[in-house]
Each structure stands twice: as C-alpha cells, then as structure tokens.
Amino acid sequence: MRDGSDEWSSMNDDNSPVTTKNQKIGVLYLVATPIGNLEDFSPRAADTLRRVGLVAAEDTRRTRVLMTRYGISTPTVSLHEHNETRVSEQLLERLAAGTSIAMVSDAGTPLINDPGLPLVRAARQFGVPIVPVPGPCAFIAALSASGLPIDRFAYEGFPPRSSSARRKRFEALRDDPRTLAFYESSHRVRETVADMRGVFEPERILVIARELTKLHETIVSLPLGGADEVFADPNMLKGEFVLLLEGAKAAGTPEDLTAEQERILRALLEECSVKTASALAARITGAPREAFYRKALQLSADREGPP
C-alpha cells in the first residue's frame, strides 16, 4: 500500500513538544512491544522510549526487562486497569506541561485488550498529538499464518469466563461470515473450544495458535469437530492462545467437489471414519480436506437418517 510518498517517511522522528496557540504540549506515543521475542522490538520503538520524558507501562517490572535489554533508562509509571482513571489525569497534566510520554502494554499493541483508552480519549480532547509506533500484535500475527480468509475479520478479545455467557456470545456470532479472532488463557482454552463445538458447525476450521514468537510456538489448523484431540498433548494447555474460527458459510454454498471426488469419498467412507476418509480423499485428489470433511459429515448424516 502506498502512502502518497515516493520515499520512506521519517515524520514524527522528533519527539520534542509541539506548539499550539503559543502553548507547548507534549506528544503521546503509543508504542507496540514484543509479544514474546524481544528481537521484535523495532529501532523506532526503542528510540522513542529513549527520547520521551516518561514511559507509562501496564507492568513496570515487565517493561523494565525490555528497556534494560535495549539500554533504555527513561523513568516509568504504572498505568493499569485499576488505576488508569486517576493516573490518566496526572499524565494529561504532564503532557499539557510539555512532557512527551510513551504508553506501552505488557506485550503487543497498546489498547488491544489492554488499558489506555481513557488517556487516549482525554489526550485527543485536549488536543495532544497522538502518534502510533506500530509493531507486534498477537491476533494479527496469527491471522497472517492461519490460512483463513482475512479480507474481513472480527476481533472479539477474550470470551466471557463462564460457559453460559460464552455460549451466548458464540450464538450471537454463529452467522457472522467473517473470520473470528479470540484471545484465551491456558486455564480456559479447552473449555472455550468445547463451547465453540456446542454452537458452531463441526466442519468449520479452527486455528489454535499458542506462544507466538516464543520457543514453543505452535499453530494448528483443523476442523472444529476434532479440535479436542489437540489437547491430548498436555503441552497444548500451556501458554497464551489466539483462537481463529472460520466464518459462517453463505446459504447454498457448494461443496466444491467434482463427481469423481465425491465418488472417491463415498468409497472411502464405506471403510473409514469421516476424519480418515476426508484426509485420504484429500491426499488422493489434491482437493482441500475441509471440503471433503464437510461433504463427509453431510453424507454420514444422510446415511443415518432422522432419529
């Protein structure tokens, strides 16, 4: 995508206060930080943290590890969900007095499921320049590697904690054609996937991405109906998760199987399970396994007939 210039832009490199109506005010920088691998911290992000007067961090201890790695000694202040209303007022005063501030979250892009919205809103109302310094974002990283359609997607953050509330949320999203992106903790990921299976069609593709950019990064793609098998490995219950679910199919969407492909699938279903038949048919023909899986489920249901 072109931004209208023929060269890389270096605008906003200077973090010095700007003048508006003869009053000097600071700049609020929103700086993305690594989601796991510290090498993902950009030179511009590191330079911004060095040059501002103050860093507002979700967890100053965690941010200090990153800053120490890059030799940054800028003072820090804690800004988290329990104090952000009070601290945002104090930071706005510092900005109004001419101090430029960088806001960071524990990992990833600020405000994406993290604190900071009250400060950004107040700064914008006051006329403080707000400059994003882009970088890592876990669900964007997962989307890029998922193989799911990402021309349209919906970021849904963390699902509700209780099963009944989660199912209610999923019911509201059942007919959404966009790829759905969720975050989930290791403590609830298995239960959340189980609730997905109770609401969404089993043939939808689910991508489970854990520990992105870290040593044990894992990205698994499979039909939702068989997703619980992933958690037979106890390591798949550890870490931080992004869950990506294929969007709803439009009514009447064809299965995209030729007559010969369907014949092969029917023959395999006489001897194999739905999962195995789908995998073998895909291997034999080269067509997508997901299309065979959807058709196999339909054929199996038709064969069993009404209860």
Same domain, 181 and 286: no
Q: What is the pLDDT of residue 13?
A: 46
Report the pLDDT value the prediction gives residue 288, as an integer from 0 to 100: 81
Question: Do 180 and 70 sit in the same domain of this protein?
Answer: no
Considering the domain boundaries, does residue 186 fall inside one?
yes
> Which pLDDT belongs to residue 152?
93
Asked, for residue 206, whether it belongs to a domain, the answer is yes
- On whether both 92 and 37 belong to a single domain, the answer is yes
Q: With respect to residue 268, please indicate whether it lies within any of the assigned structural domains.
A: yes
Residues 212 and 160 in one domain: yes
Give residue 295's pLDDT. 87
Is residue 252 domain-resident?
no
Instruction: Please check whether residues 265 and 241 belong to one and the same domain.
Output: no
Per-residue pLDDT tens digits of the chain, which is 307 residues long: 444 444 444 444 445 555 555 568 999 999 999 999 999 999 999 999 999 999 999 999 999 999 999 999 999 999 998 898 899 999 999 999 999 999 999 999 999 999 999 999 999 999 999 999 999 999 999 999 999 999 999 999 999 999 999 999 999 999 999 999 999 999 999 999 999 999 999 999 999 999 999 999 999 999 999 898 899 899 899 999 999 999 998 654 455 788 889 999 999 999 999 889 988 998 888 788 888 888 888 888 776 655 4
Whether residue 128 is contained in a domain is answered as yes
Q: How many domains does the chain have?
A: 3
**What residue numbers bound the domain in which 177 lies?**
139-245
- Are residues 116 and 206 both part of a single domain? no
- The predicted structure's pLDDT at residue 122: 95
**pTM of this prediction?**
0.76
Quote the pLDDT of residue 74: 97
Residue 202 lies in a domain: yes
Among 218, 245, 272, where does a domain finish?
245
What pLDDT, on a 0 to 100 scale, did the predictor assign at position 307? 46
| pLDDT computed for residue 148 by the predictor | 93
What's the CATH number where 146 sits?
Answer: 3.30.950.10
Q: Which residues, 6+ apart, have CB-to-CB distance to 40 below 8 Å?
A: 34, 135, 136, 213
Structure confidence at residue 283 (pLDDT): 85
Domain ends where: 245, 273, 288? 245
Question: Looking at the structure, do residues 127 and 39 belong to the same domain, yes or no?
Answer: yes
Give the pLDDT confidence score for residue 3 in this predicted structure: 47
Residues 201 and 159 occupy one common structural domain? yes
CATH number for 61: 3.40.1010.10
Do 125 and 75 fall into the same domain? yes
Both 25 and 132 in a single domain?
yes
Sheet holding 54-57, edge to edge: 76-78, 54-57, 101-104, 28-31, 130-133
Q: Are residues 180 and 90 in the same domain?
A: no
- How many helices and strands, by DSSP H and E, does the chain display? 10, 12
* Tokens standing for residue 109: 């892009």
Q: What pLDDT is recorded for position 81?
A: 86
Write down the pLDDT at residue 257: 84
Residues 116 and 169 in one domain: no
Rounded-to-integer distance, Cα 174 and Cα 170, Å: 6
Domain boundary (194, 221, 245) is at 245
In a domain, 254, yes or no: no
